[in-house]
Structure 1
């Protein structure tokens, strides 16, 4: 009995010690403590923020003229080559003119023939007038004789009929003269048209510039009509004024204004690290492809607007070297990336973009509850309410070992620096959670226990690289 009692006393003592140990461990946080979430911290500070809209596009001359023929034929003379500098009115090439010369000569012959016909019609008028005068005199004489009862009524009627015929002949002669005049005008118009076609066989430069593209060769046949564009033969461009044409998304186009400054990164000069300055000169009022059947049928197509940015000459003046004939550093078709500066603010409170996320209205005031605290009906009702709540922008402020969710109001974003302006809801110097992105955007909740994330050697090496 004594031995049995001693065993029970020992067991009771052990149990008591275990209970005391568990109570002490729980109160000290050794067991049952929530595992902290590893996060990164940053302090809210004031800085300069530059909001930009970025897009890629192609460099093109501000003015580039495509030259197409109005008449078809074979190129018999080509006086320029690609890259040549030309002046306005300079002869560029010739199209075989033989057919047009013969057509012009034929038109000249028709003009001369119609003019001769017109002169003949004029002489007919003189003859008709003389005949009318003679018939008029005959009628007057017959009328007097009839009044004196010397001739019969039949003789008077014959004289009267001859008078009417003579008058009609005169009117007809005059009408023939008018018709001859119109025939002359028609023939002269035909001659003008033939002469114009003959003139169009010689192609002259419509403006001064550089031959940026030569698409034809000597002896090649080209097609030309006055109703539609014919074969593109060459292009003349003013390479002194170059621009970048980009397509901007509809969500960003409202922030772009005429006169905005832009920084241009040309792929051809990427190795040098040189950037060029530009200015927005044109913003399209209509979206690309708007009004077409394809655009009308597709609702998933991205809506974009064309924006043109002039490259300022002073930003690439150091690249111009007239001794080596490197006068034009940009060539049509070069690829460039443009950052349009839409707004600038200095000394404003800012935080990393990754530190700002969105949460429902209920998330800002309540913490996560255990599954057993809700029945199915309550869970359904809460989910319906959450869907109706408008998401709010929040940050997680570090308070001792926990975080507090706080609603903020943001302003412009600096994508290059990765910061965003905070207008209200946060003070300078307050420490907030800035990462990792997945934790901030999805996992972190109000009241969560957090700890500073320790960087691994691999992460440090990556940052150095």
Structure 2
């Protein structure tokens, strides 16, 4: 019995010692201590911020003319090559004109025939007018004889009828002349049309420029009509004035304005590190692909809404690439790929922080608290009032005392995507230290009052030792 009591006393003493140890260890922080989150810190400072809108596109001439024939036929003369420099009015190529020559000659014959008919009509008028004069004289004579009771009434009626016929002959002859005049006009219009078609068999340059594309060969047949576009034969472009055509998302297009400057990175010159300057010259008022049958049948969720923006490449930014002796006059070719950064706004020496340091919180904790207090109201019989959900707020985590962080709401301005910084309008002061990473910690893990440690601090300490 005594031995059993001794065992119980021993076990009780061990338990008491364990309890005392746990209490002392917890009060000393040996166990149960919150594990700090490793984070990176950065000091709030002032920098220059450049807000940009970036997009990729193709380099194209500002002016490029596609040349198609208005008449079909075989190419019997090709007087240029791709890359040739041409002047306005220069003969470029010739389509077989034989058919159009014969049509023109036939139209000329019709004109001449119509003119001959008009001359005959004039002669007929003269003859009918002469007959009218004679019929009028005959009628006047017969009328006098009838009044003198020399001839019968039937003789007078015959003279009167001949007079009416003569007048109608004159009217008919004049109508024939008028018809002949219209026939002449119609024939001349046909001749003009035939001559125009004959003229169109010779293709001339509509402007000064470079033959940027030649799609036909000598002896090839081309199709052309005046109602629709025919075979594209060639293109003439002014390679002195080049532009980049890009598509900008609808969320960014509102920040782009005419006259904005841009930095252009052409893929062909990426290895050299050469950058070019540009200026926005045109912004589309209608989104790409809208207004047609395709847009009407496609769903709004199927495609991204984009607007075309054109940026002229400033000649002074590539003048050093021009070498006329080596015949390198045009450094850009149509179709080259380029990336454009349009500078939409620029601010100097403004308060800024890394973009990764700013995150959002939706106030769900406060909402839960409100719901808890509303339950008390329901238990007292009062109807529950719907709680308005808080809008997400932009926040940062500021370094606080005792290695803790404090959540603070901020208001931000423009963003410098290239530098990875964002403007802070309110909520922070220069020199304050805030958490800048890792991204997962800032965006999801950290909360107000969390214990943190500087990332890599132990490693540095170990190195010092």
Please indicate, yes or no, whether the TM-score normalized by the shorter chain is above 0.5: yes
Aligned residue in 2 for 1:279:
279
- How has the CA–CA distance of structure 1 residues 113 and 396 changed in structure 2, closer, same or farther, with 3 Å as cutoff? same
Aligned residue in 2 for 1:436:
438
Aligned residue in 2 for 1:463:
none
1:271 is paired with a residue whose SS is coil
Aligned residue in 2 for 1:462:
none
Question: Equivalent residues in 2 for 1:20-99 (5 A)?
Answer: 20-99=20-99
Would the aligned equivalents of 1:132 and 1:163 in 2 still touch at CA under 8 Å?
A: yes
CA distance in 2, matches of 1:48, 1:40: 23
CA distance in 2, matches of 1:367, 1:154: 126
Q: Please state if 1:450 is matched with 2:464.
A: no
Shift of residue 16, structure 1, vs aligned partner: 3.5
CA distance in 2, matches of 1:445, 1:168: 112
Aligned residue in 2 for 1:290:
290
Question: Equivalent residues in 2 for 1:41-440 (5 A)?
Answer: 41-297=41-297, 298-300=299-301, 301-363=303-365, 385=387, 388-400=389-401, 401-440=403-442
CA distance in 2, matches of 1:132, 1:336: 87
Shift of residue 169, structure 1, vs aligned partner: 0.6
Residues 149-186 of structure 1: CA distance to partner in whole angstroms, max 9, x if unpaired?
11111111111111111101101101111111111111
Would the aligned equivalents of 1:366 and 1:446 in 2 still touch at CA under 8 Å?
A: no
Runs of 4 or more, structure 1, over 3 Å off, are 1-17, 365-368
CA distance in 1, matches of 2:458, 2:8: 53
CA distance in 2, matches of 1:44, 1:6: 67
Aligned residue in 1 for 2:462:
none
Shift of residue 427, structure 1, vs aligned partner: 1.1
CA distance in 2, matches of 1:330, 1:69: 28
CA distance in 1, matches of 2:51, 2:368: 35
Shift of residue 403, structure 1, vs aligned partner: 1.6
Shift of residue 35, structure 1, vs aligned partner: 1.9
Shift of residue 453, structure 1, vs aligned partner: 2.0
Shift of residue 28, structure 1, vs aligned partner: 2.0
CA distance in 2, matches of 1:217, 1:403: 75
Shift of residue 8, structure 1, vs aligned partner: 5.6
Shift of residue 268, structure 1, vs aligned partner: 0.4
- How has the CA–CA distance of structure 1 residues 455 and 217 changed in structure 2, closer, same or farther, with 3 Å as cutoff? farther
CA distance in 2, matches of 1:81, 1:191: 34
Gapped regions of structure 1 (runs ≥ 5): 458-465
1:15 is paired with a residue whose SS is helix
- How has the CA–CA distance of structure 1 residues 195 and 455 changed in structure 2, closer, same or farther, with 3 Å as cutoff? farther
CA distance in 2, matches of 1:361, 1:4: 61
Would the aligned equivalents of 1:357 and 1:441 in 2 still touch at CA under 8 Å?
A: yes
Would the aligned equivalents of 1:257 and 1:342 in 2 still touch at CA under 8 Å?
A: yes
Would the aligned equivalents of 1:214 and 1:233 in 2 still touch at CA under 8 Å?
A: yes
CA distance in 2, matches of 1:27, 1:349: 43
Would the aligned equivalents of 1:367 and 1:447 in 2 still touch at CA under 8 Å?
A: no
Q: What root-mean-square deviation, in Å, do the aligned CA atoms of Structure 1 and Structure 2 show?
A: 2.4
2:271 is paired with a residue whose SS is helix
2:419 is paired with a residue whose SS is coil
Shift of residue 451, structure 1, vs aligned partner: 1.6
Shift of residue 260, structure 1, vs aligned partner: 0.3
Aligned residue in 1 for 2:463:
none
TM-score by length of 2: 0.92
CA distance in 2, matches of 1:180, 1:239: 54
Shift of residue 245, structure 1, vs aligned partner: 0.1
Would the aligned equivalents of 1:367 and 1:445 in 2 still touch at CA under 8 Å?
A: no
CA distance in 1, matches of 2:325, 2:204: 29
Residues 40-89 of structure 1: CA distance to partner in whole angstroms, max 9, x if unpaired?
21111111100000000000000000000110000001000000000111
TM-score by length of 1: 0.92
Residues 244-287 of structure 1: CA distance to partner in whole angstroms, max 9, x if unpaired?
00000000000000000000000000111111000000000111
Shift of residue 456, structure 1, vs aligned partner: 11
